[in-house]
């Protein structure tokens, strides 16, 4: 059933005529001093027949007249405000951030790496074990070269939020060294960490163009969890021109300063 048909069904359930809607909406428009909230019976007929789509003002009037939740009416038009986080990586692929829907990100046709990463996503999500409830996923931004080339930009990260405290552990090589996912209040980061007094240092890979970053801990930086798995290609994507890759590397260097 189309959105317009659902609105018509809702009106009929309330036993309201199109003229009733017009008169009620006119009262709302007069009370608000804004004619955009007024709904003519002709326009409502077009809306219910799928010829027109409502503005936010008219949809508000309908929610009042039909005694319906405004957000429920918005969802009829494929707009769900609860999905904001789900589409953040789609809108801002250059940013490192948590993702709410790993499968949706993997199938995102706008992602440069979606096709190449698909087989790797299964590896990153395997072996969840007894601590599956503490596992979240993150997206390493396309401009984030902190752990490059060990973890390349665009990688999918598997994060154990139960390991959200910095603990100095013995490690024998770079693959054993703990990698953390860090919230920076207005952004996120991924990298090795060191704690010096009240300062948390985000340490880049020794082959990365990025520099060490320092934050007051925990006021400016908070550890979300330890990265316990990641999917990343072993080579840079050939589809990306060399000049574009060079600009991203330079951008990463400037951001880290």
220 and 153 belong to one structural domain = yes
Distances (CA, A) of 183 to 98, 161, 164, 227: 10, 12, 11, 13
Q: How far apart are CA 194 and CA 215, in angstroms?
A: 11
Boundary of a domain, candidates 75, 99, 131: 75
Q: How far apart are CA 32 and CA 18, in angstroms?
A: 21
pLDDT of amino acid 81: 86
Q: What is the b/e burial string over 26-65, where b = at least 16 CB atoms within 10 angstroms of the residue's CB? A: bebbeeeeeeebbbeeebbeebbeeeeebeebbbbbbbeb
Contact of 196 with 183, CB cutoff 8 Å: no
105 and 143 belong to one structural domain = yes
- Beta strands 97-99 and 135-139 are antiparallel
| pLDDT over threshold 80, residue 173 | yes
192 and 94 belong to one structural domain = yes
Name the pLDDT band for 225 (thresholds 50, 70, 90): very high
Boundary of a domain, candidates 75, 106, 130: 75
Boundary of a domain, candidates 75, 103, 126: 75
122 and 40 belong to one structural domain = no
Domain, as residue range, for 229: 84-255
Contact of 99 with 111, CB cutoff 8 Å: no
Tell me what the mean pLDDT of segment 103-126 comes to.
43
Neighbour order of strands in the sheet with 97-99? 97-99, 135-139, 156-160, 222-231, 180-183, 188-196, 199-203, 213-216
| pLDDT over threshold 80, residue 221 | yes
pLDDT digit string (tens) for 1-58?
899 999 999 999 999 999 999 999 999 999 999 999 999 999 999 999 999 999 999 9
Helix (H) or strand (E) holding 44: helix 41-48
Q: How far apart are CA 127 and CA 142, in angstroms?
A: 27
Instruction: Assign residue 237 the CATH number of its domain.
Output: 2.10.109.10
Q: How far apart are CA 253 and CA 6, in angstroms?
A: 52
Contact of 14 with 8, CB cutoff 8 Å: no
For the chain, report the end-to-end CA distance as a whole number of angstroms: 54
């Amino acid at each position: 059933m189309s959105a317009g048909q659902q609105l018509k069904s809702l009106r009929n359930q309330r036993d309201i005529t199109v003229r009733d809607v017009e008169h009620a909406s006119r009262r709302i428009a007069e009370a608000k001093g804004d004619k955009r909230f007024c709904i003519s019976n002709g326009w409502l007929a077009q809306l219910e027949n799928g010829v027109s789509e409502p503005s936010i003002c008219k949809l508000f009037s309908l929610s009042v007249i039909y005694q319906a939740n405004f957000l429920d009416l918005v969802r009829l038009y494929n707009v769900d405000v609860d999905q904001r986080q789900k589409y953040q990586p789609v809108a801002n692929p250059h940013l490192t951030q948590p993702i709410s829907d790993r499968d949706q990100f993997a199938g995102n046709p706008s992602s440069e790496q979606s096709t190449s990463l698909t087989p790797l996503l299964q590896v990153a999500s395997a072996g969840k074990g007894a601590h599956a409830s503490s596992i979240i996923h993150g997206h390493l931004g396309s401009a984030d070269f902190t752990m490059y080339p060990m973890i390349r930009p665009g990688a999918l990260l598997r994060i154990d939020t139960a390991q959200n405290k910095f603990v100095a552990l013995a490690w024998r090589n770079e693959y054993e060294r703990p990698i953390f996912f860090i919230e920076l209040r207005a952004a996120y980061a991924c990298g090795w960490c060191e704690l010096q007094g009240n300062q948390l240092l985000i340490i880049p890979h020794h082959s990365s163009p990025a520099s060490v970053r320092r934050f007051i801990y925990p006021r400016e930086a908070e550890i979300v969890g330890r990265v316990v798995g990641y999917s990343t290609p072993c080579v840079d994507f050939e589809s990306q021109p060399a000049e574009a890759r060079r600009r991203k590397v330079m951008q990463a260097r400037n951001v880290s300063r």
